[in-house]
């Protein structure tokens, strides 16, 4: 008689564990979907096109300046450098505001 009771209670424990596990999975799914809707998580997108272009222009100007130090080449390099810094800073700032 005792064996029947213990085996029956063991089945009830398994069923309780299964139902609690399924309940937990449902709660977890709901929390994750609601949180993703509220927070609107987006994967990071790299906007390297403009930055790469400006840095490349700066590098070309620096090579030209180093090959032949003239006032015009130096001024051109400084202008390209400041322009590249401004654009890179602006892009980084907008990326930081998104996060």
Residue 62 structure tokens: 């620096």
Alpha-carbon separation of residue 49 from 39, 45, 57, 97 (angstroms) = 28, 11, 12, 19
8-63 pLDDT tens trace:
555 666 666 778 888 999 999 998 888 877 777 666 566 567 778 888 888 898 89
The predicted structure's pLDDT at residue 69:
83
Whether pTM exceeds 0.75: no
């Amino acid at each position: 008689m005792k064996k029947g009771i213990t085996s029956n209670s063991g089945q009830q424990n398994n069923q309780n564990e299964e139902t609690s596990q399924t309940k937990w999975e449902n709660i977890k799914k709901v929390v994750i979907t609601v949180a993703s809707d509220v927070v609107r998580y987006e994967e990071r997108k790299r906007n390297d096109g403009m930055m790469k272009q400006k840095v490349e222009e700066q590098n070309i100007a620096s090579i030209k300046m180093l090959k032949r130090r003239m006032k015009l080449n130096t001024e051109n390099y400084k202008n390209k450098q400041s322009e590249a810094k401004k654009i890179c800073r602006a892009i980084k700032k907008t990326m930081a505001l998104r996060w």
